[in-house]
Amino acid sequence: MPHELPKAYEPGAIETRWAEYWKDQNLFHASTPPEGHARNVFSLLLPPPNVTGRLHMGHMLNQTEMDIIIRWHRMLGDLTLWLPGTDHAGIATQMMVERQLRSEGKSRLELGRDEFILRVWCWRKQYGGAILDQMKRLGASVDWEREYFTMDENLSRAVREVFVRLYEQGLIYRGKYIVNWCPDCGTAISDLEVKHEEVPGKLYEIRYPVVGSKEFITVATTRPETMLGDTAVAVNAKDDRYTHLHGKKVFLPLMNREIPIILDELANPEFGTGAVKVTPAHDPNDFQAGLRHNLPQIDVMDERAHMNANAGPYAGLDRFEARKRVLADLEAQGFLVGSKDYTISLGKCDRSGTVVEPRLSEQWFVKIEPLAKRAIEVVEKGYIRFTPDNYKTIYLNWMYNIHDWCISRQLWWGHRIPAWRCGECKEIIVARTAPAKCPKCPSSQLEQDTDVLDTWFSSALLPFTALGWPEPTRDLDVFYPTSLLITGFDILFFWVARMIMMGCWFMIPPEKPMRPDQKPDSPEEALRNSVPFRDVYIHALVRDAERQKMSKTKGNVLDPIEVIEQYGTDATRFTLAAMAAPGTDIAFNPSRTEGYRNFANKIWNAARFMFMNIDRIGAGQAPSPPKPGLKGVDGFTATTLEDRWILSRFNGVADYVNEALEEFRFHEAANRIYDFFWGEFCDWYIELIKPRLLLEDGGDKSTAQVAASNLVALFEASLRLLHPVMPFITEEIWHAIYDGNPPFKSIALAAFPLADPKQLDLQAETHMAILQDLIVSVRNLRAELKVEPKVKTPIQVYTYEPEIRTLIESNRNALERLASVESITFMDSSLAKLPGARHTARFDVHLVYEQKIDVEAECARLKKELEKYEKNITNAERQLGNESFLAKAPANVVEGLRKQKTENESLRDKSRKKWDELGCK
Ligand SMILES: [Zn+2]
Ligand SMILES: [Zn+2]
């Protein structure tokens, strides 16, 4: 039966078909192995995209890298698990649904909590699968059977379990704290969600009269409206200027309130007047000072950042309006000393862009220090490795300076905090399930906390909760710790650091679930095995072709799906892999993707050539199924130099690629495969065996059959080498090789090539390099002399090495075919001095060719050329000499003109030289 492969390579059709096939066949499902299984395990957690998400280039890079690694491990024979899922994404999803409600003229509050949450679930059902559908189109080899959602019941139960345990261990507490409050989102947000911006602002100086004296104390602030909540003025005990005021009070303007002068380190004698106002409810440092001195905390704003009743006459005003009014009133009453320009570091909400207000509120916190301590230890001991390794330092620095984590959010969508308040005695009850009555008093009037947990709280637990924790599952035994995490730098602290803290807390006994028959590890082993992953690879950013960050405002965002539709997933993946040098951002240029589409095309055409010939010869049996652990290429009979050479090269490349992937050097793996497949295999090897294959070498059918078998064996092995980077085209051709009857359901289940040292042949590589050098030299000489393609030329060769002479003589055929050589004459002495000869360390070569040139026509042509260059030079010089032009022209235009001038000058000089040589007039 003839091998079938359509004439034209059309990635779209092939890719959709295989993506569906892989999913339908459930090919990438990792079934839980029984006790005593002996296979290596490689497991990987997909950073769960938000349900609100759409695939962007960052995901595409991330998923390409993960897919390459997991396909490679699968082909190495490992038991592989790539666990997919989506994140409920608290704020993002809630905002999305609220927006939808608004467009219907409704609000969340009108609907009520239960109704609203139902609405979010509906939204999720309708739209939440979009990003995973896109992943399916990409053919990501994840285990779809294990897909999870962070709000699934089993995962939610695990979240409650963790919360309750931490609470019982005293590591979760409730407290009034200054949090970053977003008035727009109506919730506390973590430090990480606040983006700081340097903006020009004003520093206002206000004077407070000292009670019972004619003196004033002057304080400075950038947020004058907060003075309404001042409860003290602080001076430094060492500041002589204020010694006589110790123990006195000042009068707070506008509020008609007396507040104490306190002695505190908060006041720096070196800065300004050395006195500072203290507003415990609206500033984190003042809050701490307030605790030290037992000051009242007067909150003057509500959750929308409007002034409240504590702000007296300003109640009801927006904070910025209040600022204007406070300043005007202070000025009118003679308390405003003045103002000066001042650069303010303004914190804005990452999501809404609203200025964040430090605000006092009741929140839940994780006491982070004990968790951080372990998370530092495992990284310092090398139990988790970072690539590139500079992220280790970044991680550790952050860990050393970590603050308690505010985990409550004033949202409706998310894991509701498992805490209840007794309506009678106000007792707080934290429990796994809703308690029936209060343990302190018999009241059953219990109300659950209305807040939900920070989205990152549940995602920090995923490496173990997604594998069944707190149950002692087989999956936890087998797949935890996961082998690798690939993610972006932007979520190093949000997510990576917190997974490490949580993993190293909950996957060590007694928190780690153990079956009665399980033997505990030694303490050090237990710590080593508590990590959520052994390796973290932080991938780079994908920028546009000009190295600009992609952003909606700049309009330079590339949609990966569009690139895929134009060039195919394989070519898009290859582009990302070929540029993914660790630690280096990727300047994504679709023209490169076009180049890799051509690469796929080249492979396609080579496969068609192969099929045509093996069908004609009636040979080239499909190679036997490649078994895992098999080294080298099976079924390859190396009879000629090119056979020995390509076999050796293949093994060398396989070795290199395995090593590069081991160290996440995706770019080196991809580029080496590219050079091998296109350059060595298609351009050299196939060309070199053509005479044998086409029976043009006077050989018989049996040599053609050997050549055909070799070709198929090597092609099949090369497809396996390329498969992790270009999964679709390799699958398509591989199935064609086996004529629809492959030994496995997919090439993805075949073995990845490993080098066989016995198939390495350095002599063949050296000889082939010389031969290639000779062929390329002759081709270059022909090009220089503009020899017509159909004209064959004799060459003269000199070499002092008999071995090389033999090599050339025995490969005469190749030279004749690939370099259009008519005959070879070996010379007795060096040709180095001969004009136009090429001299190398191993040989000299000279082309015997009489140039027949029509001198008159050539001179006429040169004359025209010279005129053109002169004109270009004069033009450039004229513009470069024009001062007013230079003043206005953009730098790149001027640069372009300079370049144009020098280029034309050099072209002119070349033509003039020829002009002189030919004796033109
Ligand atoms: Zn916000
Ligand atoms: Zn009670």
Please report, as a single letter, which amino acid is at residue 670.
A
d(CA 392, CA 386): 6
8-22, 152-166, 611-625: range with lowest mean pLDDT: 611-625
Instruction: Determine whether 633 is exposed, middle or buried from the number of CB atoms within 10 Å of its CB (0-12, 13-18, 19+).
Output: buried
Cα 434 to averaged position of ligand 2 atoms, centre (Å)? 14
pLDDT digits (tens, 9 = 90+) for 28-66: 999 888 887 778 999 999 999 888 878 889 889 999 999
Given this model, what pLDDT does residue 218 score?
94
Cα 453 to averaged position of ligand 2 atoms, centre (Å)? 24
pLDDT at residue 621 greater than cutoff 70: no
d(CA 849, CA 880): 45
Residues 6+ apart with CB under 8 A from 132: 49, 84, 86, 147
d(CA 138, CA 572): 10
Cα 637 to averaged position of ligand 2 atoms, centre (Å)? 85
Number of the ligand closest to the Cα of 443:
2
Share of the chain above pLDDT 70, in %: 98
Q: Give the pLDDT mean for 498-520.
A: 92
Cα 435 to averaged position of ligand 2 atoms, centre (Å)? 11
State the maximum Cα–Cα separation within the chain, in Å, rounded to a whole number: 119
pLDDT-based confidence at 622, cuts 50/70/90? low
pTM over 0.85: no
Cα 431 to averaged position of ligand 2 atoms, centre (Å)? 14
Cα 622 to averaged position of ligand 1 atoms, centre (Å)? 62
pLDDT at residue 619 greater than cutoff 70: no
Closest CA to 356 of 177, 175, 184: 184
Cα 159 to averaged position of ligand 1 atoms, centre (Å)? 25
Given this model, what pLDDT does residue 535 score?
96
Cα 350 to averaged position of ligand 1 atoms, centre (Å)? 7
Instruction: Determine whether 34 is exposed, middle or buried from the number of CB atoms within 10 Å of its CB (0-12, 13-18, 19+).
Output: exposed
Given this model, what pLDDT does residue 374 score?
96
Cα 551 to averaged position of ligand 2 atoms, centre (Å)? 53
Closest CA to 708 of 642, 634, 615: 615
Cα 170 to averaged position of ligand 2 atoms, centre (Å)? 21
Share of the chain above pLDDT 90, in %: 60
Cα 171 to averaged position of ligand 2 atoms, centre (Å)? 23
β-bridge pairing 446-448 and 428-430: unpaired
Cα 420 to averaged position of ligand 2 atoms, centre (Å)? 10
Contact 48, 124 (CB under 8 A): no
d(CA 171, CA 164): 10
Residues, CB-to-ion distance under 5 Å, ligand 2: 422, 424-425, 427, 438, 440-441, 443
d(CA 386, CA 388): 6
Number of the ligand closest to the Cα of 440:
2
Residues 6+ apart with CB under 8 A from 99: none
Given this model, what pLDDT does residue 173 score?
95
Closest CA to 187 of 364, 333, 390, 367: 364
How far are the Cα atoms of 120, 520, 906 from residue 909, in angstroms, in the given order?
Answer: 73, 82, 5
Token pair for 171: 């590591």
What does pLDDT average to over the chain? Answer: 90
Give the other-Cβ count within 10 Å of 197's Cβ. Answer: 11
Residues 6+ apart with CB under 8 A from 258: 211, 249, 250, 251, 252
Number of the ligand closest to the Cα of 410:
1
How far are the Cα atoms of 402, 612, 782 from residue 347, in angstroms, in the given order?
Answer: 19, 67, 68
Helix (H) or strand (E) segment spanning residue 344: strand 336-349
Bridge partners for 484 per DSSP: 44, 535
Task: Specify the length of the chain in residues.
Answer: 921
CA angle 313, 318, 322 (to 5 degrees): 50
Cα 315 to averaged position of ligand 1 atoms, centre (Å)? 23
pLDDT digits (tens, 9 = 90+) for 886-918: 888 888 888 888 998 999 998 899 889 888 877
Cα 179 to averaged position of ligand 1 atoms, centre (Å)? 13
With b for 16 or more beta-carbon neighbours within 10 A and e for fewer, the 765-786 pattern comes to eebbebbbbbbebbeebbeeee
Q: Residue 210: helix, strand or coil by DSSP? A: strand
Of 2-6, 573-577, 625-629, give the range with the top mean pLDDT. Answer: 573-577
d(CA 162, CA 456): 13
Token pair for 743: 């030994």
Q: Residue 640: helix, strand or coil by DSSP? A: coil
Residue with the larger pLDDT of the pair 557 and 467: 467
Give the other-Cβ count within 10 Å of 291's Cβ. Answer: 12
Token pair for 753: 């090539």
Q: Where are the beta strands (DSSP E) in 443-565?
A: 446-448, 452-453, 482-488, 533-539, 542-543
d(CA 406, CA 175): 10
Q: Give the pLDDT mean for 465-482.
A: 94
Contact 592, 667 (CB under 8 A): no
pLDDT at residue 304 greater than cutoff 80: yes
User: Ramachandran region of residue 149, left (φ > 0), alpha (ψ -120 to 50) or beta?
Assistant: beta
pLDDT digits (tens, 9 = 90+) for 313-338: 999 999 999 999 999 999 999 999 99
Cα 183 to averaged position of ligand 1 atoms, centre (Å)? 7
Cα 650 to averaged position of ligand 2 atoms, centre (Å)? 76
Q: Residue 213: helix, strand or coil by DSSP? A: coil
pLDDT digits (tens, 9 = 90+) for 272-299: 889 999 999 999 899 989 988 989 999 9
Cα 423 to averaged position of ligand 2 atoms, centre (Å)? 7
d(CA 155, CA 890): 58
Q: Residue 270: helix, strand or coil by DSSP? A: coil
Token pair for 106: 């409704």
Contact 475, 512 (CB under 8 A): no
Contact 376, 303 (CB under 8 A): no
Bridge partners for 178 per DSSP: 360
Residue 175: phi, psi to the nearest 5? -160, 160
Cα 303 to averaged position of ligand 2 atoms, centre (Å)? 28
- Catalogue the long-range contacts made by 321-326 (C-beta closer than 8 Å, 24 or more residues apart): 322/225, 322/228, 323/223, 323/224, 323/225, 326/224, 326/225, 326/227, 326/228, 326/254
Token pair for 11: 């990635």
Cα 422 to averaged position of ligand 2 atoms, centre (Å)? 5
Instruction: Return the DSSP state at 680.
Output: I
d(CA 207, CA 221): 11
d(CA 190, CA 101): 27
Distance of CA 682 to the CA centre of its chain: 33
Given this model, what pLDDT does residue 150 score?
94
Contact 182, 195 (CB under 8 A): no
User: Ramachandran region of residue 583, left (φ > 0), alpha (ψ -120 to 50) or beta?
Assistant: left
pLDDT digits (tens, 9 = 90+) for 64-75: 999 999 999 999
